[in-house]
């Protein structure tokens, strides 16, 4: 069974805080991983791709632990605009495979 | 920036009616997908389409559903004899070299 599991939250943090989300996946053959951001009633939008041990883009850092089948997303210096649901996504079946979504972790950044 | 366009943005239909959801993928993409998200739940894969045929479908995608690429630009999802539980956001996505791009979705409400 193809599963992607996330802590649903919500995570309520003050502006400027550092917050980390975790995700575990069941398909050990997966080679690429994604973090998407979804605002309320909007489409998922790609935040970061992870193909090796990790990736960093500004305030966002994603890390991958293949042995534990675990992916994390770290957000530093949180902004109000970071408030959203963060979706852990794992392709199934190779680079052209369909995407398996986690249920998402809701983040609320407060002033 | 190229985008995936979906119409209509909101569709209300009576139970038992047929609906067609429309998508215009990014023009040079080759892989197309439909996903759905029931309110409060995770995004779920429905079907993938490549080279004018279905390449994979989930167990959700039963005989009630069909997809078509009637011309060089449109990609449609038809839902026959709609049920209350078909109410959801339906997202079209296309995949190119840099990954998946989602449309803004069609909110289907079956009454």
User: Which residue of chain A has the CA closest to B89?
Assistant: A41
Token pair recorded at residue B66: 């069909």
Rounded Cα gap, residues B30 and B22, in angstroms: 17
Reading chain B (111 residues) residue by residue, the pLDDT tens digits are 789 999 999 999 999 999 999 999 998 888 999 999 999 999 999 999 998 899 999 999 999 999 999 887 899 999 999 999 999 999 999 998 778 899 999 999 999
Q: Is A99 at the interface with chain B, CB within 8 A? A: yes
CB-based contact, B42 to chain A, within 8 Å: yes
More confident residue, A78 or A98: A78
Burial of B71 by CB count in 10 Å (0-12 exposed, 13-18 middle, 19+ buried)?
exposed
Give SS3 for A9. coil
Going by pLDDT thresholds of 50, 70 and 90, the confidence category of residue A96 is: low
Q: Reply yes or no on whether the pLDDT at A93 is more than 80.
A: no
**Residues B30, B12: Cα–Cα separation, whole Å:** 30
Residues A1-28: pLDDT tens digits? 668 999 988 999 999 999 999 999 998 8
- Report the chain A residue with the minimal C-alpha distance to residue B47: A98
Spatial separation of the C-alpha atoms in residues B67 and B60, rounded to whole Å? 13
Residue B75 C-alpha, separation from nearest chain A C-alpha, in angstroms: 17
Give yes or no for a cis peptide into B8 (omega within 30° of 0). Answer: yes
Q: Which residues in chain B are contacts of A99 at CB distance < 8 A? A: 33, 35, 43, 45, 93, 100
Q: How far is A72 from chain B (nearest CA, A)?
A: 19
Distance in Å from the first CA to the final CA of chain A: 41
- Look at A49 and B99 and tell me if their CB atoms are within 8 Å: yes
Q: Identify the pLDDT of residue B19.
A: 98
The secondary structure of A24-83, three-state, reads EECCCCCCCEEEEEECCCCCCEEEEEECCCEEEECCEEEEEECCCCEEEEEECCCCHHHC
Contact flag B45-A103 (C-beta cutoff 8 Å):
no
Average pLDDT score over residue span A55-63: 95
Q: Is A20 an interface residue toward B (CB < 8 Å)?
A: no
Q: Which of B45, B95, B102 sits opposite A44 (nearest CB)?
A: B102
A85-100 average pLDDT score:
81
- The token duo for A13 is 């943090």
pLDDT at A94 over 70: no
For residue A28, give the nearest of A1, A66, A56 by alpha carbon: A66
Those residues whose C-beta lies under 8 Å from the C-beta of residue B110, and which sit 6 or more positions away, are B13, B14, B15, B82, B83, B84, B85, B86, B87
Asked if B56 and A93 come within 8 Å (Cβ–Cβ), the reply is yes
């Amino acid at each position: 069974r193809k599963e992607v599991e996330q802590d649903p939250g919500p995570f309520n943090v003050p502006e400027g805080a550092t917050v980390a989300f975790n995700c575990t996946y069941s398909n050990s053959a997966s080679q690429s991983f994604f973090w998407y951001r979804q605002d309320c009633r909007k489409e998922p939008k790609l935040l970061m791709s992870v193909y090796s041990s990790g990736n960093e883009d500004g305030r966002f850092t994603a890390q991958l632990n293949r042995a534990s089948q675990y992916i994390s997303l770290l957000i530093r210096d949180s902004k109000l605009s970071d408030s959203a649901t963060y979706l852990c996504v794992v392709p199934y079946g190779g680079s052209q495979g369909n995407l398996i979504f986690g249920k998402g972790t809701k983040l609320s950044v407060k002033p | 920036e190229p985008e995936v366009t979906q119409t209509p943005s909101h569709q209300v239909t009576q139970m038992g009616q047929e609906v067609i959801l429309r998508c215009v993928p990014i023009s040079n993409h080759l892989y197309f997908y439909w996903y759905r998200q029931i309110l409060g739940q995770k995004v779920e894969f429905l079907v993938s389409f490549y080279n004018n045929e279905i390449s994979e479908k989930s167990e959700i995608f039963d005989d009630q559903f069909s997809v078509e690429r009637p011309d060089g630009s449109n990609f449609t999802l038809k839902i026959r004899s709609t049920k209350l539980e078909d109410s959801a956001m339906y997202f079209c996505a296309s995949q190119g070299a840099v990954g998946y791009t989602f449309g803004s979705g069609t909110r289907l409400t079956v009454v």
